[in-house]
Every structure is written in C-alpha cells, then in structure tokens.
Amino acid sequence: MPYTNEQIAALVRADSVHKSVYTDSALFQLEMERIYGCAWIYVGHESQVPNAGDFCATRIGDQDVILVRATDGKVHVLYNRCPHRGAKLVADGCGHAGKFFRCPYHAWTFQLDGSHLAAPLKAAFEGSCFDPQHPDFSVRPVARVESHRGFVFASQAAQGIGLKSFLGGVISSIDNLCDRSPVGEVEVAGGMFRVLQTSNWKVFYENLHDTMHAPVTHESSVVAAREQAQKMGAMPLELHIMVGNGEPYRFWENLELCAYAHGHGYMEGIFDPGAASRDPVTRAHFAVLEQAYGHARASEILGMNRHNTIIYGSGSPHTVFQQFRVIRPLAVDRTMIEIQLFRLKGAPEAVFKRTLMYANIINAPSSNVMADDVELYARCQQGNLSRGGDWTSLHRHLGTDRAVPGGMVSSNGTSELPMRNQFQAWKQYMLGHLVEENCDAA
C-alpha cells in the first residue's frame, strides 16, 4: 500500500520501531528510491579494475551497475543496460571488456565510459530520430561518482552533498585502513565470500553494533574454542578470535559506541591493542610502518582500535582485519553480504594471511560464527511476520547517550544507541529530509 509521510513517521519511535519496516515490500521499494536512490553507496574498489577494460558488475540498491576503468584511466559507474532493447551488457561478476562494450544481443557497441560507438547496419536508421550523439543511445552513467583512497562510491542523485561530507566521522576508518599500509594503499585480494541471508538488510546493520548478542548467539563457538584451547594447552589467535565473543557483560558495557549523521557509526575494538607487542606478526607490521612514518605515527595508526564501522547503506569496513562487508539488499527478506578482503600494499604477507584467517573463522559461510548470526537474522524475519506483537524494542540505555562534536557517544557499551541512530536516519531519508540534502534538485 502507498504510505503517507505521517504513516512513515509513525513507524519509528524514540525507543522502538514497527515490525513492518522489516517485512513490508512496499516500504522496501520506497527504501530503494529514497535511500539507495539518493545516498552515496559503495560500489567497489579501484583495485578490482586495475586495467582499462576491466569491469565488475554489481548493484546499487535495486539497480544493476558496472564498475569499469576506461582507456583514460578513470573509473566509471554505468547502469548495466544496453539502450537498444534493455539487455544487461555484462553478466554478473568481473571480467575484461577489451577496448569497448559489445551488447551480446544485437552488437551495439559502446566506449568504456558508456558513450555510443557503433550499431550494425546504420543505414536502417535513416529517417528516424536515431542520433549516436544523443545520450539516449549511450549507456547511462550513474549521476555522481567519487573515490576516496580507492574506495569508489556512487550516488544516483545528480546533486547533493559531497562524499566526504556524507561519510563524516567514519571517513577516519577508511583512512586508518589505508594508513596501515606503509605506502598508504590497499587492494582487494584473495577472492570474495558471498552469504545470502533470508532477512531484511537493516537487521545486519543493527547486529554489527549489537554487543548484547555476542555471548548468547555465539555461545556454542565460544565453548568449543575454550575446550579446544584447554586440550592444546594454549590459545592460538584462531581460537582467541572465537573466544572474544564470550567476554562477560561488564566487558561489553565498557566499550564505546559512536553514532554519526546518516546512520553511520563505529564500535571500539574488542581485541587488546597491547597484545601487539607480544604478537610477531604485529611487531613485523609495526616495523615497516615505523620505517615509513616514524615511531609516533606508526603507534597512532595501529593504536586506532575499532571493531565494526558502519557506513549506512554500504556496509562495514573492519580496519584491524582489513575487510569490508558490503551489504546488498535484494528483497524485503533477502540480503546478499559480500566480504571483500584487502591486502595492505608493502606490509608483511603474514598480515594478509591473518586477514584470510579472520574471514574464514568469522565471516565465511561455513564458519562457526557467521552461521549463528544468519540463523538469528532469519528468526527475526520469521518472528516479525507473526501476530505476536507489532513493535521491536530499542530501549536499552535510552536517554543516556551523550552528544559529542559531530555525533553521539554511548554511556554504556550495551546501549542501543546505534540502532536508534540508524532508524532516525532511516526516518529522515524516508520522509525526504535527507533526500533534500542528498538529492537536491535531482
């Protein structure tokens, strides 16, 4: 059913949200227009298309798009549609187009920036309005594309705030991820995990900063890791990562959660940065950073201890283990998670192997941890379809959050501040308030 702004506003309270925000396909379609149709959305990393002609087919909300590097070296984001009959120009995945795109249906061809190049038997268009110079006969580019240190974002709105202003307080997480390389650059490496979840996309964002679920949802993997460590008489990093979820509540209460405009935020790291001095991989990493930046700056870079950062609408970069969980909504009850892994250029290879290890243990479809979350996401989706109640609670530590420059910070690490912040942003987008900011005159 169509929603009025008054009805949308009534779905989000200060302390709770109506369950329809997770289950109503009409709201999902509005989200594709008012959030994904306007906000800056992460498309991919420049390292995925290193050479002219390289492309990756991906999505912005419900739109199929192509990330491609053109012959002039620039990276473009195009809608994946031939203007002739509408066929997708390239299939899903990454590849190399050569010097131009050729539609597999009728062989219309296009420059790598999307501009029209040729169509067979042009004489057949005489007497028609066919004009190869007109944009209607080219592959349409997404309205705006900006890159920050190789991370390519695109907005379907022709005008609005710039990418840096949009990212606000979480841009420092991307910077820290890159600064962990002694040359300040990262690249996607090691393939990509994809996990299809039968749940609404917003559930994943909430869970990224939900500290109350860790010791409960992941109890089985924590117990198994502890038992294994006892048998071994040691706690290798692989098990230490799993055991981390089993910290007592007082540990989670002492963490810091930061929330910023547009639904963004980050969570303080859960692993002890002091362990760096005892870990040979981190010691080797620190040595190359110290050589590149000096002792003080190297300490500052590795001392930034963040767990999950949220870039609302795009996903979650993780600086310490160099990954980006990209969240792609597919339907009101289906979400694809892409886990991209990054190599720090110039850093010891052991650092990247640790990245691979973390992804396999925590985020792989077959891991003992991700499976727990996926099961609970599906249960939330299923439960919200029942007649057992209409509202979901966001009450924890309501009213205790503190304002800081540029945002809010929790007074307790188990606060549901991040969820409240995300839904305030959701409400602003859906009511058009952030649409005006991000999509001005679109």
pLDDT tens sequence across 176-231: 999 999 999 999 999 889 999 999 999 999 999 999 999 999 999 999 999 999 99
Contact 48, 14 (CB under 8 A): no
- 435: pLDDT strictly greater than 80: no
d(CA 60, CA 83): 19
pLDDT of the residue at 311:
98
Q: Where are the beta strands (DSSP E) in 70-185?
A: 75-79, 93-96, 101-102, 109-110, 116-118, 144-148, 151-155
Average pLDDT value for residue range 77-88: 98
Amino acid (one-letter) located at 245 = N
CA distance 206 to 399: 19
Q: What is the mean pLDDT of residues 156-173?
A: 95
For residue 98, is it left (φ>0), alpha (ψ between -120 and 50) or beta? left
- β-sheet bridge partners, residue 327: 337
Query: By the 8 A CB rule, do 341 and 189 touch?
Result: yes
- Alpha-carbon gap, residue 325 to 195, rounded angstroms: 10
pLDDT category of residue 441 using cuts at 50, 70 and 90: very low
Q: In Å, what is the CA distance from 438 to each residue of 5, 61, 132, 202?
A: 18, 16, 32, 20
pLDDT of residue 437: 61
| 17: β partners | 12, 392
Q: Is residue 37 predicted with pLDDT exceeding 90?
A: yes
Beta bridge partners of 318: 308, 323
CA dist., res. 282 & res. 272, Å (int)? 12
With a pLDDT cut of 70, the percent of the chain lying above it is 96
Q: Looking at residue 6, what DSSP letter applies?
A: H
Share of the chain above pLDDT 90, in %: 88
Range of lowest pLDDT (172-186, 235-249, 289-303, 386-400): 235-249
Q: Is the C-alpha dihedral spanning 397, 403, 407, 413 positive or negative?
A: negative
- Give 297-303 contacts, CB < 8 A, sequence gap 24+: 301/176, 301/179, 301/180, 302/180, 302/273, 302/276, 303/273
Find where tokens 């886990």 sit.
339
Query: What does the alpha-carbon distance between residue 310 and residue 304 come to, in Å, rounded to a whole number?
Result: 16
Residue 273 has pLDDT above 80, yes or no: no
Neighbours of 300 (CB within 10 A): 14
Torsion sign, CA atoms 101, 153, 206, 249: positive
Judged against a pLDDT cut of 90, whether residue 433 lies above it is answered with no
Q: What is the mean pLDDT of the chain?
A: 94
Of 231, 225, 229, the C-alpha closest to 244 is 225
pLDDT value of residue 276: 57
Give the whole-angstrom CA distance, residue 431 versus residue 186.
37
Please report, for residues 176, 268, 322, the alpha-carbon distance to residue 304 in angstroms, rounded to integers and kept in the order given: 8, 9, 13
Within 10 A of 257 (CB to CB), how many other CB atoms are there? 26
- Give Cα 39 distance to the centre of its chain: 13
Q: At what angle do helices 417-431 and 201-208 cross, to 10 degrees?
A: 140
**Averaged pLDDT, 285-307:** 95
Distances (CA, A) of 60 to 36, 41, 212: 7, 7, 31
Strands 265-268, 257-260: pairing is antiparallel
Token representation of residue 179: 């600064």
Reply yes or no on whether the pLDDT at 287 is more than 70. yes
Helix, strand or coil, per DSSP, at residue 403: strand
Alpha carbon distances (Å) from 359 to 142, 223, 328: 31, 20, 18
CA atoms within 13 A on the CB side of 30: 22
pLDDT of residue 253: 95
pLDDT in tens, 306-358: 999 999 999 999 999 999 999 999 999 999 999 999 999 999 999 999 999 99
- Report the pLDDT averaged over residues 418-441: 81
Q: What is the pLDDT of residue 442?
A: 37
Distance from C-alpha of 170 to C-alpha of 418, rounded to nearest angstrom: 13
